[in-house]
Copies of this chain bind each other. A is one copy, B any other.
């Protein structure tokens, strides 16, 4: 029996494949399904079952694509409006060779959430592992904010799912959730992708709470929901069929400039240092590891997109990442890169940077400027610079008007990456005196400067 974890970097999504004999099941497949087909191939197995732990909102699911390619059946919990899957309910069992998957209804994150319990029937009916979707993570639990009016209800459901359904499976059951650290689906996840119910029972901070306290905490938690991710929910109600990655035009600087003229939005996926050093004017900085969490706030599905990355080898990964999030309209990428753009004579822009030390000095000197902290409210509340003005990066496009245009603005985040995005957004809207604090809060704290939680 083979259990393979397939990780999609960026969205930090975890899907799983269980193979026994010549049968295979996939849990929560991503949209670019070649990885599952290849694994089945290598193992001499046929994918016959696909399970969705819930209707996902943060990536586009590959169930339908996988079903089309393999003839597999797709299963989903009850209570949703998913059209492409057969509904399953508590207690249903599926045999994948000697592996048995049993359905456990575990609502809370959504109404249709299920967990799948794995048994190795060669040995016994005892559970050996459980796939918990977005119900229970390693070090955290699922979000309960998708039904704003019913947060208490959802929190209670989640508690009961965990305490009455999952934990009773026993301490010795391995835990396989749908996300790892870095996901927008939880902020407290461990930077470790293996655990057991027993370890979580004792060490997951949320599982140390009493029921009331748990519900209260979940109800008061602050979460963000990127507006464009609504499309993913719609997509996942049907699940798109398979298609190849889009072919993207390799555009010379001149061709790229012409596309920019006609309205193409440039996404600059390079590092913040490179972006600050020089970039195509009006482009939006979206460093690769920032993109998955923020593109849904900043980029419409209707925009035509052009990519800038100086590493052509990464391009396929970048396109895959966008594709998993439902962004398919990438029309061009700049070749051979930024230096060619500059050498072509096209204009380029830069963003001045500011170190944490220089920032401290400005504060001490009482200079007149806006220190714009674009981190999440949670981060901000845990520690911030007293003078900072908080405005979450995802809200910046809509609330930018609140910022003064006649003062210098220093963008600030955890390390300087999101600050680069913020700086790019401000520059796109005509703010001219923008600086990026590379290093940001991490450097500020490492240098021992005072912060506050007020």
Kindly state whether residue A274 has any CB partner on chain B within 8 Å: yes
User: Which residues of B sit under 8 angstroms from A41, Cβ to Cβ?
Assistant: 312, 315-316
In A249-268, the 8 Å CB interface with B consists of 249-252, 255
Cβ contact within 8 Å between B312 and A442: no
Kindly state whether residue A278 has any CB partner on chain B within 8 Å: yes
In A28-82, the 8 Å CB interface with B consists of 37, 40-42, 44-46, 69-71
- A174–B250 Cα distance when bound, in Å, is 29
Cβ contact within 8 Å between B339 and A69: no
- A313–B357 Cα distance when bound, in Å, is 32
The residues of A with any CB-CB pair to B shorter than 8 Å are: 1-3, 21-22, 37, 40-42, 44-46, 69-71, 120, 122-124, 126, 128-129, 139, 170-174, 190-203, 244, 247, 249-252, 255, 270-279, 310-313, 315-316, 333, 335-340, 342-345, 347-348, 350, 353, 355-357, 414-417, 438-440, 442-447
User: Which residues of B sit under 8 angstroms from A44, Cβ to Cβ?
Assistant: 250, 312, 333, 335-336
Contact partner of A415 (CB less than 8 A), chosen from B1, B276, B279, B343, is: B343
- A381–B172 Cα distance when bound, in Å, is 34
Cβ contact within 8 Å between B278 and A278: no
User: Which residues of B sit under 8 angstroms from A442, Cβ to Cβ?
Assistant: 343-345
Cβ contact within 8 Å between B272 and A271: no
| Most-contacted residue by chain B among A69, A126, A201, A273 (CB, 10 A) | A273
Cβ contact within 8 Å between B347 and A357: yes
User: Which residues of B sit under 8 angstroms from A128, Cβ to Cβ?
Assistant: 192, 194-196, 199
Cβ contact within 8 Å between B247 and A70: yes
User: Which residues of B sit under 8 angstroms from A198, Cβ to Cβ?
Assistant: 170-173, 196, 198
User: Which residues of B sit under 8 angstroms from A3, Cβ to Cβ?
Assistant: 192, 194
Contact partner of A339 (CB less than 8 A), chosen from B126, B190, B333, B415, is: B415
Cβ contact within 8 Å between B120 and A192: yes
Cβ contact within 8 Å between B447 and A345: yes
Task: With A1-B192, A273-B273 given, name 19 new contacts (CB 8 A).
Answer: A1-B190, A44-B336, A126-B203, A170-B198, A172-B202, A196-B196, A271-B277, A273-B338, A277-B438, A278-B438, A342-B439, A342-B443, A343-B439, A343-B442, A343-B443, A343-B446, A344-B446, A345-B446, A348-B355
- A336–B250 Cα distance when bound, in Å, is 30
CB-based nearest B residue for A349: B355
- A381–B446 Cα distance when bound, in Å, is 51
CB-based nearest B residue for A352: B350
Contact partner of A123 (CB less than 8 A), chosen from B139, B335, B340, B357, is: B139
The 13 listed contacts between A and B (C-beta, < 8 Å) are: A2-B192, A21-B252, A41-B316, A128-B195, A172-B198, A172-B200, A173-B199, A270-B273, A273-B342, A342-B355, A342-B416, A343-B415, A345-B446
CB-based nearest B residue for A203: B123
Minimum CB–CB distance from A356 to chain B (whole Å) comes to: 6
Contact partner of A275 (CB less than 8 A), chosen from B272, B277, B342, B344, is: B277
User: Which residues of B sit under 8 angstroms from A273, Cβ to Cβ?
Assistant: 270, 273-274, 277-279, 310, 338-339, 342
Cβ contact within 8 Å between A247 and B69: yes
Cβ contact within 8 Å between A172 and B192: no
CB-based nearest B residue for A340: B415
Cβ contact within 8 Å between A244 and B278: no
- A251–B21 Cα distance when bound, in Å, is 10
- A171–B345 Cα distance when bound, in Å, is 42
CB-based nearest B residue for A275: B277
- A311–B196 Cα distance when bound, in Å, is 34
CB-based nearest B residue for A316: B41
